[in-house]
Amino acid sequence: MPITLDDVETALAQKPETLSGSYTDRDSLLYAVAIGMGRDPLDRKELEYVCETVGQRVVPTAATVLTRTSRPAGAGRNPLAGKMNFALMLHGEQRLTIHQPLPRAAEILASGGITGVYDKGKGKGALVTNETNVTLKDGSPLYTVGSTMFYRGDGGFGGQSEGAPVPHTLPDRKADAVCEMPGRKDQAMVYALCGDRNPLHRDPEFAKKAGFDVPILHGLCSYGIACHAVLKTMLDYDETRMTGFDVRFSSPVFPGETQVVEMWQDGNVVSFRVRIKERDVVSINNGKCTIK
């Protein structure tokens, strides 16, 4: 059953719940490995992210997989769930604001929900924006994550079309730095263990139903790989300098492809985009990393 304006109004009117959760060092270590850190087991800077006896650093974009909470029985349910076509859903944008460096393990409180639903028109799909605020158990702000999901089969329900987040504009000059990030054929299999079990990324038959010849890499895995490149190239692996990391996903990535990250620095902003070396297509655009 397609969504209606009543469904959208109900979703936007829901009050955020505050839910408790936690994550362990296994989660933050696994994430670092899943986005390609530690491939050189003698690289001490990366070992600080993947080996607890060397360091306690956590990749900031791990926030996307560490926000796990327990929902009490009878708690509110997303009124759009089950009504939008999940098989035709793509991750459009991801946003992150970091309030303090992520600890290797923590107990957390999270609250948030749907912040907007935008109708691109019949046959053009719909956008759904979400935001979640996360604090440590003592209430101190940790990070805020936001996303835009593109439901290709759900446009034309009569909703508003304007007001969605505006993408960051990249500088009009040659990149200040470029970093190549080789992929692995099994990368989606490893990243799925971080918590995203969407079969689009591992099941060939499911991928075909969604219009892809083979499974595609998780957008959030590419997001983490871009963060890895910025940390490595522009911040000398010092994650404490990063305060925000926003992207727009523009083209699917296939496991094993090389992601070439082009970067520009202007003051406290590192702009970036990601180009797929093997196909010369931009997979992540309008990237914005804010730094101290």
**Which residues are tagged catalytic?**
196, 201
Nearest to 126, CA basis, from 169, 173, 158, 94:
158
Contact indicator for 224, 35 with CB cutoff of 8 Å: yes
Counted residue by residue, the chain has a size of 292
Report helix angle 25-34 to 219-234, nearest 10.
90
H or E element at residue 33 = helix 25-34
Token pair belonging to 151: 């439901």
Cβ contacts of residue 131 below 8 Å, gap of 6+? Answer: 95, 112, 113, 115, 144, 145, 146
By CB atoms closer than 10 A (0-12, 13-18, 19+), residue 65 is: buried
- Expressed in percent and rounded to 5, the helix, strand and coil fractions of the chain are 25, 30, 45
